[in-house]
Amino acid sequence: KDITNKPMYQRARLGLGYLAQEPSIFRKLTVAENLLLVMEMNGVSRKERLAKTESLLEEFGLTRVRNEKGQVLSGGERRRVEIARSLATNPKFILLDEPFTGVDPIAIGDIQDIVKHLKDKGIGIVITDHNVRETLAITDRAYIMSEGEIKTSGPSSELPNDPIARKFYLGDRFEM
């Protein structure tokens, strides 16, 4: 089913979650309010919202910052809230747009662990990112695009040695 021209709310109802590249947290709301708001907008009952919020706070290690405003969170905490919020609607697939942008190396490791956790839960994941090493380390398959075209694809473990991947993106000196 082609969902290209559907608005985001319709895509979400079809089971697609989305993590934007740019910070998308509501800065003046608390962490818990950021999660509750998404579910409220989707007509989830109050009881279900509260239970799901508690579950997401626990799952993403956010319990201790539940009452903190979005504007005081670290980059890694903010990213975890944004990922948790994208999961509040129980998507079947999630698109992570540059998930490693603006976070420190510790948070990158945390995000990699989260991606592995989501995969283990059976959620399909599509990642677009320029951080090749971090992305290849957690993906099963990768695609190299240039000028809007897929130039090559294959198992993530094999892509670093692909001559087309090296020509269009990785370069000759790239090493994992």
Q: Indicate left, alpha or beta for 43 from its phi (over 0: left) and psi (-120 to 50: alpha).
A: left
CA distance 52 to 161: 43
Place of tokens 């799901």: 52
Task: Provide the pairing of β-strand 141-146 with 149-155.
Answer: antiparallel
SS3 for 143? Answer: strand
Q: In the prediction, which pLDDT does 137 show? A: 92
Global confidence as pTM: 0.82
Per-residue pLDDT at 76:
86
Q: Could you tell me which residues come within 8 angstroms of residue 160 by beta carbon, excluding any fewer than 6 positions away?
A: 136, 166, 170, 174, 175, 176
Mean predicted lDDT score pLDDT of the chain: 91
pLDDT at 153: 96
Token pair belonging to 96: 């992570």
State the pairing for strand pair 124-128/141-146: unpaired
Question: pLDDT value at position 14?
Answer: 85
**pLDDT number for residue 42:** 77
Q: What percent of the chain has pLDDT over 90?
A: 59
Q: In which element (H, E) is residue 59 found?
A: helix 46-59
Q: What is the mean pLDDT of residues 114-141?
A: 92
Query: pLDDT for 89-119, tens place per residue?
Result: 889 999 999 998 878 888 899 989 999 999 9
pLDDT tens digits along 55-90: 999 999 999 999 999 999 988 899 899 999 999 888
* Measured CA distances, 42 to 1, 6, 35, 84, 139 (Å): 22, 17, 12, 15, 30
Q: Which band of pLDDT confidence, cut at 50, 70 and 90, is reported for residue 15?
A: confident
What is the distance between the alpha carbons of residues 153 and 174, in angstroms, rounded to a whole number?
17
Distance, in Å, from the CA atom of 119 to the CA atom of 139, rounded to the nearest integer, reads 10
User: Which domains, ranges and CATH numbers included, belong to the chain?
Assistant: 8-139 (3.40.50.300)
Q: Is the pLDDT of residue 120 over 90?
A: yes
